[in-house]
Structures are given as structure tokens and as C-alpha cells.
Amino acid sequence: MSLRRGLTRFANFKTTRIFKIRSLSTHTAPNDQSTERKQTHFGFDTIDEEEKTKKVHEVFETVADKYDVMNDVMSLGIHRVWKDIFMQKLAPRPGTKLLDMAGGTGDITFRYINYLRNIGQKQTDKPSHVTVSDINQSMLDVGKIRAERQGYKGDPLVSIDWLCADAEKLPIPDESYNAYTIAFGIRNCTHVDKVLEEAFRVLQPGGRFMCLEFSHLSNTQLQWMYDQYSFQVIPVLGQLVAGQWKPYQYLVESIRQFPDQDRFKAMIEDAGFRQVTYENLTFGVCSIHSGFKL
């Protein structure tokens, strides 16, 4: 019955997709007192804007301990390849100061450290640093445990700190970092434009913004196959592996709500970034977006 409801919601969504999927702006709903409540999407649902942060927080609070296992199950391990390519594109050098936003469990941060180790960062090089930031403390707690178990804690060449913060209002001074990454996190934010503006603010001139996010396939037949897998298989896997259906139903719905590659590229440019580009991975299942603060 839950599967049928999910497919019905998806079918209804497809009929109005042209009106919904290209916009992340909020709208207002008047009430009897003539006040305005700003509204936004949560998956395919429309909710009061102030509720979204709470709901997203609850989703990741629920799945934190199974998050990495489910990534492997849902993507058949391909997410690891995507993240490896993402870090190769960033190509950090010794002395890089990275803000890894929505980085909770440490997947991007650990690749950053491994990359610096592999290129042979030396004691004489300028020290490198990464701040792992996430709005959900449970995700950060998982990341800290992984960092200690996998030998990343106390690295003499790359320091790590952990920051529980909202990507829309970072408690960070201007021009503090020269690289900013966010992987599979920006679509969960209520105001994507504010996240981009904050990324621009905390980056130093010449700093680089990079985002890895699910996107849209240009081939209609492949998109249909991807939709079938997403809506008929992923929530079932969530129930079987993590004991959770709804968070993974939200996951696939939130992907369909996110702008396509060109629209998101325009949003990054609107935030002030230049030389903005994107590269599709796996036919457009996800994309790497890049821009510079010049």
C-alpha cells in the first residue's frame, strides 16, 4: 500500500512538473488574519518554510547510523566513484583550507586528506585544514567515530575540526576558506540561494566552490528507468536495510524537486561565482558543479 501511494504521488507530480521542478523559491499562503506564511517543498509536499529545516533534521537524525551503508546499497557502490572523481576535480594542494559543508560522516573530508597524502604533502609544506560542517550533530558524531577508527584524527599535516551549523547562516568570518565543497546536501536546504551566497562570503578571492548533487538525465528512456528504480526500489531498500521507508521516499522526491543542471548553474552565477561549469556523471544521475570567487 505504501509503495502504491508513493507511485501515485509521483504520477501526480509528473503532471505538474513544469510548474514545480524549476523553482526553489518560496511562495506565501494567506490566512484569515491576513498574515503571510512562506511555504516551500519537502519532497512532493508543500509545507510552511519554517518546518523544512526541522523535517530534514529529523530525516538525517533517523538515518545517521545507516547513512553510509545505504549509500552503498542504493547506488551499488557507485557513489564512491562519484566522490573520488569529485575530489580529483578539486585537486587540493598543500595549504588548502577547506570547508566541507553537509559533510557529516566524513566521506569528502577523508578523500581530501587521502588526496593530500597521495601527492606527498611534506612537513615543510604549509599546513592544510578542513572544517567538517553539518546541521545535524548525529551525522557529525558518526563522522568523528569514523575519523578515529580510520586514522584521520590527529594527522600532523591536515587538521580537522567539526562544526554543527546551518549552511544558510554560517558562524564563520568572511573570506576564511579557499575551497568549499558540498556533496548531496544542498537540495535539502530551504533556501539554496542563501547557501550559495554564504559559500561566496566565506571563500577568499580566488577560492573555489564545488557541489556534487543528484541531477536530471537528458535521455527520456534512461530517466524513466531511473524513476522506476528510484520510486519502486529505493524506499523498499530503506525499509529492509535501515528499517526506514519515509526518509528514502523523501530522498527520491527531493531529487526530482531540485533544478536541472543549467538552472542550478545560473543560480551559482547569480550568487557571484564566475567560470561556472558542470559535468554530468553516469548520464546525469548526478553532476559536479564548479565556480570561482573572482
Cell of 251: 530522498
84 assigned binding-site residue? no
166 is in an annotated binding site: yes
217: Cβ–Cβ under 8 A, 6 or more apart, which residues?
223, 226, 283, 284, 285
Q: Got the DSSP string for the chain?
A: -HHHHHHHHHHHHHHTHHHHTT----EEEE-TTS-EEEEEEETTEEEEHHHHHHHHHHHHHHHGGGHHHHHHHHHTTHHHHHHHHHHHHH---TT-EEEEET-TT-HHHHHHHHHHHHTT--TTSPPEEEEEEES-HHHHHHHHHHHHHTT-TT-SSEEEEEEE--TTS----TT-EEEEEEES-GGGSS-HHHHHHHHHHHEEEEEEEEEEEE---S-HHHHHHHHHHHHHTHHHHIIIIIS-SHHHHHHHHHHHHS--HHHHHHHHHHTT-EEEEEEEEGGGTEEEEEEE--
- Give the closest residue to 83 by CA, choosing from 129, 120, 56, 115: 115
Q: Which residues of 117-134 are buried (b: 16+ CB within 10 A; e: fewer)?
A: eeeebeeeeeebebbbbb
Is position 167 annotated in a ligand binding site?
A: yes
Q: Is 105 annotated as a binding residue?
A: yes
Feature table: binding site for S-adenosyl-L-methionine: 105, 134, 166-167
Return binding residues.
105, 134, 166-167
